[in-house]
Amino acid sequence: MFDSTEKFAKQMDEKDPMKGFKKEFYIKENQIYLDGNSLGLMSKNAEKTLQEVMDSWKDYGIDGWTQGKHPWFYLSENLGEKVAPLVGAKSEEVVVTGSTTTNLHQLVTTFYKPEGKRTKILADELNFPSDIYALQSQLQLHGYDHEEHLVRVKSRDGRTLDEDDLIQAMNDEIALIVLPTVLYRSGQLLNIEKLTKAAHERNIPIGFDGCHSVGAIPHDFHNQGVDFAYWCHYKYVNSGPGGVAGLFVHEKHFGKTPGLSGWFGSDKSKQFDMEHTFSPAYEAGAYQIGTPHVFSVAPLIGSLQLFEQAGIETIREKSLQATQYLMDLLNELLSDHGFTIGNPVEDERRGGHVSLEHPEAASICKALKAHDIIPDFRSPNVIRLAPVAFYVTYQDIHQTVMTLKKIMDEELYKNYKNERDVIA
């Protein structure tokens, strides 16, 4: 039973199965970090494995490709096997490679095959701009006007998407569908199974951007039949800024030649034959374009060790409880200050963060930062608060809401301009 006292928060922390993980992360003293859905914190494990990989360069030189604790030549595939449980995939369906947008370009180039009247790509109007830019670019490369050929399904409320609206737009002009798993602003979790089934009934390949869900929400991409997916690891998976991304290709597409061929997508046994005929790997490794960014991959090794210890189901359970607790506190203690909770409140539709709307959102975020609480602002009026399961406690959440109440009661936010900084 919920109550808004600090004593209750302490009791929740005592029962938390993840209570031992916070000490594994570097957090400033007295700081509460609620921006892990934008950039996760460094863990001691990530620092350790980065140093180990740097040492392998120092100790082995070029032999580091095949020797040392983490040989580089198979690193992308080996880490794909470790990421696979987070997305509900077979180990050979996942590879750690590239960046989110590079991987999207690779996958669209592979799966977008306009023919006859099927020339359009279906997306949505609430997706992250980088995805839209990439899709516009791909259409232009095929000689199509993106204003006409990129179909962006409208939101009914400016916050969320209705799956039935998305399905209604899956007509016989659509050649490919690309959607987010979780909307970056509102935190809505889409019904991936329903959307995938509808797309396949219409013979349309469908892929998902998992940037705002992987590491916070268990997925089941293989069993749901998702054609492809792509995501970053620097948010909930805590791999560090510029951390190498990941992609999934369902095994039913194995043997397909990637749209963008690169040397590291070769069959490993033939890669050093140096032939000018590309022999792609049979599995997801084929979708690599360039040499692994070894030092940018290295922190992920250590981060994934923590996921193996915690388990993604336990992480999701904590995330749901923490976001519910946060919403309960906001509703009870801040109902008179003009806030609106903009994310879906149902467990099955809620991602890993709470989307708090207010006309003075930017200035409120600045006031929170001045009190050592790190939120995230998204234009025009959203305060994103992510109680990441690994390193945000229930007492942290309670203190955040009490501090926010003080900021509003005393109008401390008026000391700051209500406009975003260069990086929101």
Q: Give the residue numbers of the binding site for pyridoxal 5'-phosphate.
A: 100-101, 128-131, 209, 212, 234, 263, 291
Could you tell me which residues are annotated as the binding site? 100-101, 128-131, 209, 212, 234, 263, 291
Q: Which two tokens stand for residue 126?
A: 């609430």
The candidate with the shortest Cα–Cα distance to 301, out of 244, 235, 218, 241, is: 244
Strand pairing of 228-231 and 206-209? parallel
CA-CA-CA-CA dihedral for 99, 102, 105, 108, to nearest 10: -30
Query: Residue by residue, what is the 3-state secondary structure of the chain?
Result: CCCCCHHHHHHHHHHCCCCCCHHHECCCCCCEECECCCCCCCEHHHHHHHHHHHHHHHHHHHHHHCCCCCCCCCHHHHHHHHHHHHHCCCHHHEEECCCHHHHHHHHHHHHCCCECCECEEEEECCCCHHHHHHHHHHHHHCCCCHHHHEEEECCCCCCCCCHHHHHHCCCCCEEEEEEECECCCCCEECCHHHHHHHHHHCCCCEEEECCCCCCCCCCCHHHHCCCEEEECCCCCCCCCCCCCCEEEECHHHCCCCCCCCCHHHECCCCHHHCCCCCCECCCHHHHCCCCCCHHHHHHHHHHHHHHHHHCHHHHHHHHHHHHHHHHHHHHHHCCCCCCEECCCCCHHHECCCEEEECCCHHHHHHHHHHCCEECEEECCCEEEEECCCCCCCHHHHHHHHHHHHHHHHCCHHHHCCCCCCCCC
The candidate with the shortest Cα–Cα distance to 264, out of 288, 232, 293, 228, is: 288
* Residue reference for tokens 């359009």: 120
Strand pairing of 340-341 and 354-357? antiparallel
- The answer to whether the beta carbons of residues 337 and 414 sit under 8 Å apart is no
- The answer to whether the beta carbons of residues 179 and 208 sit under 8 Å apart is yes
